[in-house]
């Protein structure tokens, strides 16, 4: 089951409700210096989640010693917005239509931003997925482990047509549960049907079920929120999704 229109604020409660009890948190990683900027912090009625996300990432690198980048978040936001408008990447407000940013060009916009500020070796790559989110797990976790936040754009569910910034993850595990085939939940669905809606598990040789919860800034609230990475699977009702990795140049 994709998390659908539900917002995840408590991973353990979410896992208990969807998969049953027994999960324990085994790993936790957060990029502590990442600034959780909100869309409401910036001007304009148009949708600018992607611009806000990019602003938060570039402000993070500004605070990490990339001194050619602005130290003021409003300056950074306005510059990225102008670069997006000049290239037709952000459609802005047209009458009652709120165009927003075209997600397929987020990587290009990040590269343009690096170059505008003189970082010719700054990189950004966009990765799109039509299959399970587990296929993106190694690269996503590697980026986070290296201290590099990334942008995640989703096509449906609670974050439909929205871009969030991933700044950490939690790994939850439990011993494989043996649930009788004739069990059913309150909705009359059998346990096997419920598991099919949830998505197949990653189970290692010791019989451990594993779930990866991405820690996100949804740019609507400063609170820590989550996305179940394994639920990003079109086969189980999850969305098409893409993530943008933004890599700074090596510092001298």
Among residues 52, 32, 57, 50, the alpha carbon closest in space to that of 41 is found at 52
Q: Which residues contact 75 (CB under 8 A, 6 or more apart)?
A: none
Tens of pLDDT, residues 145-154 = 999 999 999 8
Work out whether strand 162-175 and strand 202-203 pair parallel, antiparallel, or are unpaired. Answer: unpaired
pLDDT tops 90 at residue 185: no
Split at pLDDT 50, 70, 90, the class of 91 is low
Mean pLDDT of 121-126: 95
Kindly state the average pLDDT of the residues 222-239: 78
- Spatial contact of 32 and 147, defined as CB atoms under 8 Å apart: no
Kindly report the average pLDDT of the chain as a whole number: 82
Assess whether pLDDT exceeds 70 at residue 181: no
Q: Cα–Cα distance between 90 and 18 in angstroms, integer?
A: 37
Instruction: Check residue 200 and give its pLDDT.
Output: 46
Arithmetic mean of pLDDT, 121-133: 81
Strands 241-247 and 123-129: antiparallel
Average pLDDT over residues 195-209: 55
Q: Round to whole Å and give the CA distance between 82 and 151.
A: 19
pLDDT at residue 101, rounded to an integer: 80
Phi, psi at residue 110, to the nearest 5°? -65, -40
| Residue 249 predicted with pLDDT over 90 | yes
Q: How confident is the model at residue 128 (pLDDT cuts 50, 70, 90)?
A: confident
- Rounded to a whole number of angstroms, the distance between the first and last alpha carbons of the chain is 47
Pairwise CA distance, residues 11 & 216, whole Å: 12
Supply the pLDDT for residue 237: 53
pLDDT digits (tens, 9 = 90+) for 18-35: 889 999 999 999 999 999
Find the range with the poorest average confidence among 37-46, 85-94, 137-146. Answer: 85-94
Tell me the C-alpha distance between 250 and 153, whole Å: 27
Which tokens is 132 given?
Answer: 């399970």
Query: Confidence class of residue 206 from pLDDT cuts 50, 70 and 90?
Result: low
Token digits of residue 142: 């590697």
Closest CA to 198 of 239, 237, 171, 169: 237
CA distances from 82 to 85, 100, 116, 122 (A): 5, 13, 11, 19
When pLDDT is cut at 50, 70 and 90, the band that residue 87 belongs to is confident
Kindly indicate the confidence band of residue 183, based on its pLDDT and cuts at 50, 70 and 90: very low
pLDDT score, position 198: 42
CA distance 232 to 92: 29
pLDDT value for 102: 80
Quick one: average pLDDT of 71-83?
96
From the options 2.40.30.10, 3.40.50.2020, 3.30.565.10, 3.90.70.10, give the CATH code of 11-247.
3.90.70.10
Mean pLDDT of 101-114: 92
Ramachandran assignment for 69, one of left (phi > 0), alpha (psi -120 to 50 degrees), beta (any other): beta
82 and 70 in contact (C-beta within 8 Å)?
no
Q: How many separate helices (H) and strands (E) can be counted in the chain? A: 6, 10
- DSSP code per residue over 176-234: PP---TT-B-TTS-BHHHHHHHH---EE-TT-EEEEEEEEEE-SS-SS-EEEEGGG--G
């Amino acid at each position: 089951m994709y998390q659908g229109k539900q917002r995840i604020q408590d991973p353990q409660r979410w896992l208990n409700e969807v998969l049953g009890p027994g999960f324990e948190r085994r790993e936790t990683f957060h990029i502590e210096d990442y600034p959780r900027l909100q869309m409401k912090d910036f001007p304009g009625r148009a949708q600018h989640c992607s611009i806000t996300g990019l602003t938060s990432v570039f402000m993070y690198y500004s605070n990490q010693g990339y001194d050619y980048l602005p130290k003021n978040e409003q300056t950074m936001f306005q510059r990225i917005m102008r670069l997006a408008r000049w290239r037709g990447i952000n459609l802005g407000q047209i009458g009652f239509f709120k165009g927003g940013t075209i997600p397929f060009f987020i990587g290009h916009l990040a590269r343009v931003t690096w170059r505008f500020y003189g970082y010719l070796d700054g990189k950004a790559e966009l990765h799109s997925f039509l299959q399970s989110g587990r296929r993106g797990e190694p690269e996503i976790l590697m980026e986070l482990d290296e201290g590099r936040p990334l942008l995640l754009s989703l096509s449906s569910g609670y974050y439909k047509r929205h871009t969030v910034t991933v700044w950490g993850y939690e790994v939850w595990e439990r011993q494989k549960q043996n649930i009788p085939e004739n069990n059913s939940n309150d909705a009359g669905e059998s346990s096997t049907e419920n598991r099919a809606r949830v998505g197949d598990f990653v189970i290692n040789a010791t019989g451990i079920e594993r779930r990866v919860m991405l820690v996100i800034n949804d740019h609507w609230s400063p609170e820590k929120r989550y996305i179940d990475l394994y639920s990003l699977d079109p086969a189980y009702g999850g969305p098409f999704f893409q993530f943008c990795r933004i890599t700074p140049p090596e510092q001298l």
